[in-house]
Structure 1
Amino acid sequence: MCRRPRAAWYDWVNTGAKLTEDERQMTSGGWRGLLQSREGELLLDLVYVLVLTRFSERLVEDFTTDRRVVLPEVGQTALLLLALWLVWVHAALVTSKYQTEDPVIQLLIVFTMFGSLIVAVTLPHAFGQRAVVFAVTYVAVQVGKPAILLLARRDRERRRPLRHFCWGAVSAVPWIVGAALFPQSPERGVLWTLAITLDCAGFILGWPIPGLGRTRAEDWRLAGAHLAERYQQFIIITIGETILLTGMTFADEFTPDRVLPTVMSFATAVLMWRIYFHRAGTVFPAAVEAAPRPGSLGKSGFYTHLVMVTGILATGVGYALVINEPRGHQDPLWLAVIFGGPALFLAGRSRLEYEVFARVSPSRVLGLLALAALTPVMVRRAPVIVTSAAAVVLIGVAAWDGIREWRYPDEAPSPPR
């Protein structure tokens, strides 16, 4: 593969190669203020620390309940995670398109923040007694955000929030009906699956409406670096949440047999941070900014980072289970999260590297193969041994990255596609 020299690649990034003159001014000049005044976004991220903690608590409960209901419970939790991920990503897209100093945008952030807080409170019982509160709040956020933008705009830009509003109004029907008319029944799960499918389809397709068209990712005019940094920030708070969960679990019962899994959990969080920000994670904002269509690359981060966030959360839950019961029974479902979490993280990180560098490091592939090969071997092993094996695999991946960086310090990536 032909590669540019390292210095030349950074010149290419910094000058915004392949951008038109209008796009170059918009990205590097007029929208530079988007990188300032982030207090509202930081507050939103703090609310999502609570959201992620509640997700982890729900997952821990899922894997410690009766075996007959574990898989449906995990599916419900995954549905809720996807719903809240859509809320956060749309807020990130809005703050990457409009000036955050605008009172309307600040109102939208506060509105999203409060709605996310209420949803976080309802999460453990969202499929139970708090279903109506969850559904009404989620729908209010999904419909309210485009409504705020729609009322504030008086130009052709009104079409985008109008399309989003229409799709949100349609998906609101199965959300509300499922919560209000089908308490504690499979029908609620079916209706909510339909609802989240509509929400995801609208986001992916650009909320197409007859006569109004759709919003393609390629047409989004975004501050690409800002959007990429928002993804980075979410990865950081997710890793931070796993450390918080580790500390809270260890603090419940401070005993010697919990020390090793606690150390392994903390080490794994640090390793994931190191692996994510090794090269591709670090230059991701510059890559999005310099891409011919920042919206397209930024939108692909929706899938990539969702996989990594899921993997990080699953890993933290797996370690929390072991810390809570270091001498516990050998449960194959625990193995699924202890090994499946790092596997999802490495898979998402591999896609991110391909998006930025148009290649994948062998360490990522070898890490995934190692986890797959160790899975049948670890079925009958003690949980502490399983967590240690997962940590060793990540140590190997991080060590490979460090050695390669030391041996080839000037190796440069290919430009974004």
Structure 2
Amino acid sequence: MAAGRGARLLRPPTSSGRATFLELFFDLAFVVALTRVSQRFAGLGDDTGWTLVLGFGRTLLLFLALWLIWSHTAWITSRYEPEQPVIQAVVVGTMFAGLIMAVTLPRALEERALPFTAAYLMVMVVRPLVVAAALHGHPRRMVPIRLAVWALASAPLWLAGALGPDDLRLPLWVAAIAVDYVAWALGWPLPWLGASNVGRWRIAGRHLADRYQQMFLIALGESILVIGVVFSGADYSVGRAAAFAVAFATSALLWRIYFYCTGLLLNDALGRVAMPARLGAASERTHLLIVLSVLSTAVGYELVIDQPFGQPRPSWLLFVVGGPMLFLVARVRLEYEIFGRVSRSHLIGLAALLLFTPALAHWAPMAGLSVVAGALALVALLDAFWKWGRPTEGPASPIGGRTSDGGDSEA
């Protein structure tokens, strides 16, 4: 009987594959969070050498913590029925914790470390226990229990970093986030129980694809917000207007390259494979890189619009060129996940950026952004040219198999 009550929490096969309004509402907290991440990255514009590397790593750490909260939530609503009151309460509670993390993020490695940690651990420890209790005696309850046990294992590192000396905070938190990510990659193994076979979980694949696409659009929206805010707040000049236009064109090209054939077929690919969770796990890591690349590119927009013809600063290339290069690398990975191959156009775009990077270190920032836009335009044009007149290609993912067999080692 307990297992029967817990089964009500599971997503039925007839459940809609679209994200609910509650999930879209939940994403609003992460709009704030991504804005704060972008602002922290932008603050590194004048740094060089080890200071730049350290600052980038500190912000990346905070982004990874936020991403883990968001991606776990996407998986929860893909495995459980989001219309159930318990799942709705979990999503709303996570949204509040995510908002706390967002507002404390600018000083999360300084005096606001404790509230940031408390909000993170509230989600990582308490949320899976709530889900496990709601599942009653259902076999699937072991999955959230695994999550809670591993979160408790990393919690002392998080708390020691928040409460201990400032100079130990970063290494302790790096160790803590490493534990959380490695645990997920290994399937949260426990003594005598072994690891959970995440690849065989039963999920709503199309729903998970929808959530990844939405997060990409949120990141892209953040880049548009940066373009508008920076340009509206700066003194008008022809150079800044040109940088504003090129930045917008770059964001439009990122959208085009992501969705052209590959990103558009992510839903179909996750809906067809035998084990959508295996493809979903691979795609989750790919979209982590994609979102990070868009945020980094947006920081490049801010720097260039502010000083389009200022003195060349090699450190700016980390954002102006590094962001788009990371995007192309992640897009190559996504294409392989869906089609089992790699397009020459993306490799050509990467080669072009690598070829120009040494020279861009000595050119004005506007030149760097223009070269990036040109390389992305070349990728988009080559994609369209090589597919012109050819029949529409369907997904043929090498990850997760082709036909659904309904297998699920975790129920």
User: Which TM-score applies when normalising by structure 1?
Assistant: 0.90
1:237 to 218, 223, 226: 218
TM-score with structure 2 setting the length: 0.91
Amino acid paired to 2:247: S
Contact 1:245 1:316 in 2 (8 A): yes
**Alignment equivalent of 2:197, drawn from 216, 238, 241:** 216
Q: What is the Cα deviation at residue 139 of structure 1?
A: 1.1
AA of the residue aligned to 2:142 = R
How far does residue 378 in structure 1 lie from its aligned partner after superposition? Answer: 1.1
Instruction: Extract structure 1 runs of 4+ deviating beyond 4 A.
Output: 65-68
1:77 and 2:59 matched: yes
SS at match of 1:234: helix
Aligned to 2:101: 119
AA partner of residue 404 (structure 1):
W
The CA deviation at 1:32 is 3.4
- Equivalent position of 1:58 in the other structure: 40
* Structure 1 position 165 matched with structure 2 position 141: no
8 Å contact 1:371–1:390 — kept in the other structure? yes
SS at match of 2:15: helix
Shift of 1:47: 1.4
1:181 aligns with 164
Answer yes or no: is the 8 Å Cα contact 2:30–2:98 preserved in 1: yes
CA contact (8 A) 1:150 1:161 kept: yes
Given that 1:330 and 1:381 are in contact with CA atoms closer than 8 Å, whether structure 2 keeps it comes out as: yes
SS of the aligned residue for 1:212 comes to coil
Structural mapping, 1:268-287, within 5 Å:
268-287=250-269
Whose helix fraction is larger, Structure 1's or Structure 2's?
1
Q: Which residue identity does 1:168 align to in structure 2?
A: A
Quick one: distance in 1 between partners of 2:395 and 2:144? 37
Q: CA deviation at 1:404?
A: 2.3
Change (3 A) 1:37 1:92: closer
AA aligned to 1:206 is: G
Query: In the alignment, which of 311, 317, 333 is matched to residue 329 of structure 1?
Result: 311
Q: C-alpha offsets along residues 211-267 of structure 1, whole Å, 9 cap, x if unaligned?
A: 333222222100111111111111111011100011111111141221111111111
| Residues 97 and 123 in structure 2, CA contact (< 8 A), matched pair in contact too | yes
Q: Distance in 1 between the 2:183 and 2:265 partners? A: 29
Which runs of no fewer than 5 residues in structure 2 stay unpaired?
A: 1-10, 400-411
Separation (CA, whole Å) in 1 of partners of 2:281 and 2:18: 22
2:372 pairs with 1:390: yes
Question: How big is the shift at 1:35?
Answer: 2.6
The whole-number CA distance in structure 1 between the counterparts of 2:223 and 2:294 is 7
Shift of 1:132: 1.1
2:26 corresponds to which residue?
A: 44
Q: Which residue of 86, 95, 99 maps to 1:104?
A: 86
Question: Following the alignment from structure 1 to structure 2, what is the Cα–Cα distance between the partners of residues 413 and 157?
Answer: 30
Query: How far 1:416 moved relative to its partner?
Result: 4.6
Measure the CA separation in 2 of the matches of 1:196 and 1:328.
Answer: 38
- Aligned in 2, Cα 1:37/1:410: closer, same or farther, shift over 3 Å? closer
Instruction: Give distance in 2, aligned partners of 1:394 and 1:92.
Output: 30
1:229-378 to 2 correspondence within 5 Å? 229-256=210-237, 257-378=239-360
Work out whether residues 147 and 165 of structure 1, in 8 Å CA contact, stay in contact via their aligned partners in 2: yes
Structure 2 CA distance for aligned equivalents of residues 342 and 149 of structure 1: 39
* SS of residue in 1 equivalent to 2:388: helix
Unaligned runs of 5+ in 1: 1-28
Count matched residues: 387
Query: Is the Cα–Cα contact under 8 Å of residues 34 and 99 in structure 1 kept in the other structure?
Result: no
SS at match of 2:188: coil
Distance apart, 1:196 and its partner CA:
0.2
Cα distance change, pair 67–255 in 1 and its aligned pair in 2 (3 A): farther
- Seen in structure 2, the aligned counterparts of structure 1 residues 334 and 368 have a Cα distance that, compared at 3 Å, is same
Mapped to 2, the partners of 1:270 and 1:95 lie a distance apart of 30
Q: Could you say what secondary structure the match of 1:33 adopts?
A: coil
User: Given the superposition, is the C-alpha separation of residues 411 and 221 from structure 1 closer, same or farther in structure 2, using an over 3 Å criterion?
Assistant: closer
Deviation sequence 1:146-205 (CA, Å, 0-9, x none): 02102211122211111100001111111111111122x1x1111001000011011111
State the Cα deviation string for residues 60-83 of structure 1 (Å, max 9, x = none). 012235765222111000111111
- Which amino acid letter does the alignment assign opposite residue 108 of structure 2? A
With 235-244 and 139-148 compared, the bigger mean Cα shift is at: 139-148
Contact 1:34 1:100 in 2 (8 A): no
Deviations 1:303-356 (A, max 9, x none): 111111111111110111111222322111101211111110010010110011
